Amino acid sequence: MSEWQAKRFWKEVTVVETEDGHGIELDGRPVKTPTKAPVAVPSAALAHAIAREWDAVEDVIEPVRMPMTRAANSAIDKVSVQFDEVADMLADYAGSDLLCYRAEGPEELCERQRVEWDPLLDWAEETYGARLRLGQGIMPVAQDDDALNRLRRAAHDQTVFQLTALHDLVTITGSLVLGLAISRGHLGADRAFDLSRLDEDWQIEQWGADDEAVAVAAIKRQQLEQAALLYSMV
């Protein structure tokens, strides 16, 4: 027996102002989250982006095709009720930030990491006063407590919707520094994704690409771009 699927029942999608920001209505009825909370977002730009997703539904509602709607649901239903926990989880990435773990060889890869990643660590120091230490291989790197605390404050110094976007910016790249750099407009999402895959791309250059891995990477790149777009609208 096939699963029941929600289908389009509305004719008109509108954006309205609410006490909590901007809402989206379907034939005058508010769009709600899975927990039945009204979807209220902080900017008209995001509300219109969500409205376009609902207006684009032709028959069956497919959440995978509605990234801004899903992000708003996550912000309202999940991040808002566990803000500190999410911020702390992202801040913990600084303790094992991708950019701090360098290859032991070959020299060409080591040099590529220095050229591409060192400027981002310099940026983090200039922007947040946080200098992260480097290590080689997989051995843990003991980071300075003051640097970690400064980056932790940066993670906590977000709105609910910003933190929702930052979650994907950090977890997809594996780097708090890269995530913050995107959020501050220092890096574009496409460039940041390439930097996060420096080691993987090196391996591809040596041994060739795997079709399945390439497909997964393409999905992650798109997700990172969507998260960056969300951050820019909130």
Residue 217 sits in the same domain as residue 107? yes
pLDDT at 4 over 70: no
Q: pLDDT tens, 63-102? A: 999 999 999 999 999 999 999 999 999 999 999 999 999 9
Structural domain count of the chain: 2
Based on the fold, state whether residues 123 and 185 are members of the same structural domain.
yes
- Which token pair is 90? 């992202």
pLDDT(1) > 50: no
Stated pTM of the model: 0.94
SS3 10: coil
Inform me whether the pLDDT recorded for 33 exceeds 70.
yes
Q: Same domain, yes or no, for 96 and 68? A: no
> Cα-flanking dihedrals φ and ψ of residue 29, to 5°?
-105, 135
126-135, Cβ contacts within 8 angstroms, sequence gap of 24 or more: 127/180, 127/184, 127/186, 128/154, 128/180, 130/94, 132/94, 132/97, 132/99, 132/100, 132/177, 133/100, 134/100, 134/101, 134/102, 135/100, 135/101, 135/102
Residue 184 belongs to domain with CATH number? 1.10.3580.10
Residues 23 and 128 in one domain: no
Nearest Cα residue to 57 out of 13, 15, 3, 27: 13
Q: Is residue 158 part of a domain?
A: yes
Domain that includes residue 192, residue range? 82-233
Instruction: Say which CATH number the domain at 47 has.
Output: 3.30.2180.10
**pLDDT by residue (tens digit) across 201-230?**
999 999 998 999 999 999 999 999 999 999
Q: Are residues 149 and 225 in the same domain?
A: yes
Task: Provide the H-helix boundaries in the chain.
Answer: 44-55, 67-77, 83-91, 107-128, 145-156, 160-173, 176-183, 189-196, 198-207, 211-233
- Report pLDDT digits (tens) over 130-158: 999 999 988 889 999 999 999 999 999 99
**In this structure, is residue 69 part of a structural domain?**
yes
72 secondary structure, DSSP code: H
